[in-house]
Amino acid sequence: MKIGSHELSNQLFVAPMAGVTDRPFRQLCKKLGAGYAVSEMIASNATLWNSEKTQRRANHEGEFEPIAVQIAGADPLTMAAAARINVDQGAQVIDINMGCPAKKVCNVAAGSALMKNEILVGKILDSVIQAVGVGPDAVPVSLKIRTGWDRDHKNAVAIARIAESAGISVLTIHGRTRADLFHGAAEYEEITAVKNQVRIPVVANGDIDCPEKALTVLKQTKADAIMIGRAAQGRPWIFREIAHYLNTGNFLPPPQITEIQQIMNDHLLDHYAFYGEYTGLRTARKHIGWYCKGLRNSHVFRQRMNTADDCRTQLAMVNDFFAEMQVHSDHLLFLEAA
């Protein structure tokens, strides 16, 4: 699959997730089999461009290409400006967020709230593409949407046609409405309907959490690629599992405790270096919790780990916990309810 001139290694995408898909996590997922990853959402609001959070989210130093940056906003001119700035800072693909269901995003008429206003959708797409997506140095622009605002107002097909007409290179669809948030089952029939109506590549997103589900969704929707989000939290090796299954029809054996421990160590060290001591210590907690979820005595461990007051102690606690797991089994044993 290609996005613009960028040839991807496979059809497995890492979903942009605020507070999760930072550079260390994207890089890890790519090392473990993802063919493409999109950054955390970057606001188009000019007053935030120089903030520490925005600068960190826009940091792609050393990242595997292509570098894709997601921008969010509701004004065509500021979205265009944000796209140009991110391209100047190294973005090779600009992704437009019209899928985020968070209240703080939708309350400012951005994210999936934009699906209520198809005219404004067209203006934003035209503005961003004119800013970075035309001419000899064109940067491809992608779009992420949901199936609609709520169950009574599904307009993904209409938005997809607007996107194709505007020149969007790739369209990703999360199979839920904004009102659904992340509840209920993803509606793959809506993604199928879009795929049947447009010629641009379509990416299916929502509830893909294992190799069998990945194959089922690809077959059902005829999508060109799949995007995985929550299922990769604490399990970034899901990408190599799916890639192997799609290529061979066989399952990879589950990762051994020693390998999980090494993956965590590499991730945490990169995470600490990226965020620094204070922020790194605190933001690492959720990742550690995800890696350990369901393991023997993980609840007690997480409570103890959260008392660590420096990164070195936190990492030592993690390694002590996994050393204890190694005593019980050389393979991951999920002994608690996930």
Asked if 281 contacts 308 with a C-beta cutoff of 8 angstroms, the reply is yes
SS3 of 299-329: HHHHHHHCCCCCHHHHHHHHHHHHHHHHHHC
Q: Which amino acid is at 161?
A: R
Q: How far apart are CA 1 and CA 128, in angstroms?
A: 23
At residue 294, the 3 state secondary structure works out as coil
311 flagged as catalytic: no
Catalytic residue of the set 29, 100, 106, 311: 100
Q: How far apart are CA 185 and CA 207, in angstroms?
A: 7
Asked if 173 contacts 190 with a C-beta cutoff of 8 angstroms, the reply is yes
Q: How far apart are CA 320 and CA 182, in angstroms?
A: 35
Strand locations in the chain (E) = 2-3, 6-7, 12-14, 36-43, 68-72, 93-98, 141-146, 148-150, 153-154, 170-174, 202-205, 225-228
The backbone region for 286, taken as left when phi is positive above 0, alpha when psi lies in -120 to 50, beta otherwise, is: alpha
- Active-site amino acid positions: 100
